[in-house]
Structure 1
Amino acid sequence: MKVKINFTDFWQNFEYRESFFWKFLSEKYELEISDKPEILFFGPFGREHRKYNCIKIFHTGENIKPNFLECDFAFSFDFMKGPKNYRFPLYAWYNEHEKLLNNRVEGFDIRNKKFCNFVYSNDKALERIDFFNKLSKYKKVDSGGRFLNNLGYQVQNKSEFISNYKFTICFENESSPGYTSEKIYDAMLANSIPIYWGNPLIHQEFNPESFINVHDYDSFDAVVEKIIELDLNDDLYFNMLRKPFFHENEIPDNLKSENLYSHFSYIFSLIGNYTPISNQFKSRIYHLIKDINSWISFKLQNNYK
């Protein structure tokens, strides 16, 4: 089946041929980039998508929920059930889920592992900064990103770097139900126990016995105490390391390729037999009101200058 598609409103320097959806769908479909697409993938970084009258699919790695007055379908972190939304958090782009089923203890030499790492560039996440400072009072936490760097150099290969550590601080920029980025997944792939904060429902997608879930504790101080306990007791540490990352050591249904293909098959079957949201009256009224509000806001700001 040949499908005309396009991409817009993604991050700067976005390259569609390197995107997950292009690579994934190319395995099953003949894709053609077109200025008049049948399917448009769009992100939150612009309004170019409003120029298109076709089936529009929203996806983002940011903490932004889909607006179904702007999109027909969404691949999002939202737990919303139904044909319009497919739960597909940012880490799902990796598509390396089979690797998380491996035996994590085999070949693991704790003698060669350093304590804990922290790799970030964003200096606005106060919870993450606070926790870094608290844990650093116990032992040095190696910071290899641009922010709070204490190594004297910036890490080039994050995966290789964090694989040298027993623990990895995996704090999201903000906390929201269902919002899970690549941070915990990076640590899992590197076989470093994640110290996670962000999605308070994280226990629904990953086995809570396999990582340190900050949301399970009353305070950061209590989390630090747990980390110290694991750091000083190899038996306890390996007990956690033996636990599978996925519940029952099975890949969740929403991450399985066959289910993702099935959902796209449904969406593509609507081409030519479906009125896109961009052509529906309620969407046009929504955008008209939005434009009027933007114009009023612009005028008010300029009048006050």
Structure 2
Amino acid sequence: MDIAILHQYPDFRRTVFYNLLRQESRTPLREVAADKAAIVIYGPFARTPKIVGRFVKRKASFEPKHFRGRVSQPISVFHSIENVRHENKFDFSISYDFSTTDFDYRFPYWMESLDWSHEGVSRPDPLRISRYFRIRDLLMPLGKFLKDRNGGCAAFFGQIREPRKALMEAVSSRMRLDTYGPAFDGSIKNSESSGSFKDIILKEYSYNLCPENSLYPGYYTEKVLEAFASGSLPITWADQNIGCDFNPKSFLNLLDYASQGYNGWDDLISDRQCVEQFESAALLTSIPSVEPLRDYVKRIIAVAR
């Protein structure tokens, strides 16, 4: 099957969606020019100029291209792991967003960190973590995250912008905070090329400061899951609807303390009973499956033929 990939991040070919598309296609995937493709997969990194008064500003443009000279246009699929919205002009869409339509499918990025081999999904090894995480481990309690660990907290940031700086100050004033990533080490180009695995580093830490990049209902990335799967208590900053994906008793959400200047949250980790509650909580309360996404991919392929 002929496909084109536009405006995607470099790691796109490791995604569950791409590899399901590869597995379900009757013929091998062949990447061609967009005007020759049966399916064009659009990412979130398109930018087009927009005139605002006397100034030219760059504005995200999330809509499919029209190719002149074609009898029928290619099937357009929007796929994003960023906190952005498209303009409802695509044939299909896969993103974080909660949706009520049949043509939008929600597959949050944290699901990319899961091991789906038991459901027949094969894909390249991950880059930032040493392995994909087993679902059954996330259905189990966190366990004694203070025992046999140094009691400190780790943070992995590619950049520092608010509220990250305020969150770092709030955490570092109450416990030791060690920092990793391009934001703190100029020799690291990006997290994927750091030469170390996040989950291996976290095995030494009791806590992981892992705020989301921004707030939006449904926008929950790999951060909380990878902290929990590594045995560290996640200290996040996320939209209140995160409880739709994860057990709220399994992590600390600093957004709950924003109105208090991020004060008071440390009372929870100083109280033995609260610590025991964190230790006894699982991250997932139900078993996710990739089969609905597989069915969605089959729909895309059937329409493209």
Determine if the TM-score, normalized by the shorter chain, exceeds 0.5. Answer: yes
Q: How big is each residue's C-alpha offset from its partner over 1:174-223, in whole Å with a ceiling of 9 and x where there is no partner? A: 222221222222212212111111323111111111111223335355x5
Q: Which blocks of at least 5 consecutive residues in structure 1 are unaligned?
A: 273-305
Aligned to 2:65: 50
Confirm or deny that 1:66 pairs with 2:86. yes
2:238–2:253 Cα contact (<8 Å) kept: no
Aligned to 2:159: 122
Aligned to 1:215: 255
TM-score by length of 2: 0.73
Change (3 A) 1:129 1:109: closer
For this pair of structures, how many residues does the alignment match?
A: 254
Which among 20, 28, 32 is matched to residue 29 of structure 2?
A: 32
Aligned to 1:93: 112
d(CA) in 2 for partners of 1:220, 1:44: 35
Which among 193, 202, 205 is matched to residue 162 of structure 1?
A: 202
Aligned to 2:148: 111
1:135–1:224 Cα contact (<8 Å) kept: no
2:41 is matched by which residue type in structure 1? Answer: F
The structure with more radius of gyration: 1
Which among 237, 250, 263 is matched to residue 296 of structure 2?
A: 263
SS at match of 2:29: strand
1:66–1:76 Cα contact (<8 Å) kept: no
Change (3 A) 1:75 1:131: same
| Two-structure CA RMSD over aligned residues (Å) | 2.7
2:164–2:211 Cα contact (<8 Å) kept: yes
SS at match of 2:167: helix
d(CA) in 1 for partners of 2:146, 2:267: 19
d(CA) in 2 for partners of 1:76, 1:111: 38
Paired residues for 1:187-206 under 5 Å: 187-206=227-246
Aligned to 1:282: none
2:42–2:64 Cα contact (<8 Å) kept: yes
d(CA) in 2 for partners of 1:270, 1:196: 40
Runs ≥4 in structure 1, deviation > 4 angstroms? none
Confirm or deny that 1:81 pairs with 2:100. yes
Q: Identity rate of aligned residues, in percent? A: 25
2:42 is matched by which residue type in structure 1? Answer: F
Change (3 A) 1:227 1:204: same
